[in-house]
Amino acid sequence: MDEAELRGMAMAYREGREEGLEQLVNTLSRTLMAMAFRYTADWEWARDLTQETWIRVARNIESYDPERSFLSWLHGIHRNGCIDHVRRPWIRRELALGEDATPAAGEDRRDDPLEALERKELRRSIMKAAGELSEAQRAVFLRVDVEDGDQRAVARELGMREGTLRVTLHHARKRVAAALRRAEEGAS
């Protein structure tokens, strides 16, 4: 579906027709859930974050500028929601407590359940550590390493020089890796 159609749905909702929003939700939620899953590794969490994003969209539809890309606007809102999710202290606590999560898409192919469990624990430790980074470090780390974003594009998006981004990313990775090592040492 192209931008013009999406914009048309958004404008229909803005004019008071609910079906505009319903069409957007039904068209784009699969992608939003896939994006959120990268942060949560849990489909129910991904669904909750996606719902929160749509509710934010509905509440702020008046501020959408139809001259700009609807998808960019939507993804910006969604990404902020995902980053907030990692930052919430009670999320970190729950991750640390080890709530069962749906296996990641790639994990279904692994035969060894012990290995899958270890990887799940590893991912939880990483996300917990990411939640404790500084704001700039977290933004860079999540966009580059979690979303697999291109460093140059991320630097442009964040209004950062590439050199600054590399240094910030270096420190973020070091802190996450150190937290991971501490977690492993604590577990052994």
Partner 1 sequence: MKAVDCRVFEDQLDALARGELREDGARLLRLHAAGCPECAALLAVKEELRPPSLEELEAAVPPEILATVWPGVKKGLDRDGTGSATVGSPASRPRFRLLVPLLAAASLLLLFSTGLLVRELERSRSRETALALELEHRDGGGTTPGGGRSILGAGDPLDLLGAEGEITVAELRALLDRLPAGTTVLTARQAQLLVGALRLRVPGVWREARASLGEGSIRAEELLELLDRIDLPEEQALPAARIRDLLS
Positive/negative CA dihedral, 147, 150, 151, 157: negative
| 116 lies in the site for partner 1, by CB under 8 A | no
Tokens 């991904």 sit at which residue?
A: 46
| 157 lies in the site for partner 1, by CB under 8 A | no
- Report the first-to-last Cα separation within the chain, whole angstroms: 51
Check if the beta carbon of residue 39 is closer than 8 Å to that of residue 127.
Answer: yes
DSSP 8-state symbol, 41: S
Nearest to 54 by CA among 34, 73, 38, 41: 73
Distance CA 16, CA 28 (A): 20
Distance CA 66, CA 156 (A): 23
- Per-residue binding string, partner 1, 79-108, x by CB under 8 A, is -----------xx-xx--x----x-xxx--
Q: What's the min distance (Å) between Cβ of 135 and partner 1?
A: 19
Q: Residue count at the site for partner 1 (CB under 8 A)?
A: 59
Q: What's the min distance (Å) between Cβ of 129 and partner 1?
A: 9
| 146 lies in the site for partner 1, by CB under 8 A | yes
Q: What's the min distance (Å) between Cβ of 122 and partner 1?
A: 5
| 54 lies in the site for partner 1, by CB under 8 A | yes
Of 33-41, 70-78, 132-140, 155-163, the segment contacting partner 1 by CB under 8 A is 33-41
- HSE-CB of 145 using CA atoms within 13 angstroms: 20
Check if the beta carbon of residue 128 is closer than 8 Å to that of residue 153.
Answer: no
Binding-site ranges for partner 1 (CB under 8 A) = 13-18, 21-22, 25-26, 29-31, 33-35, 37-38, 43-44, 46-48, 50-52, 54-55, 58-63, 90-91, 93-94, 97, 102, 104-106, 119, 122-123, 126, 145-148, 170, 173-174, 176-178, 180-181
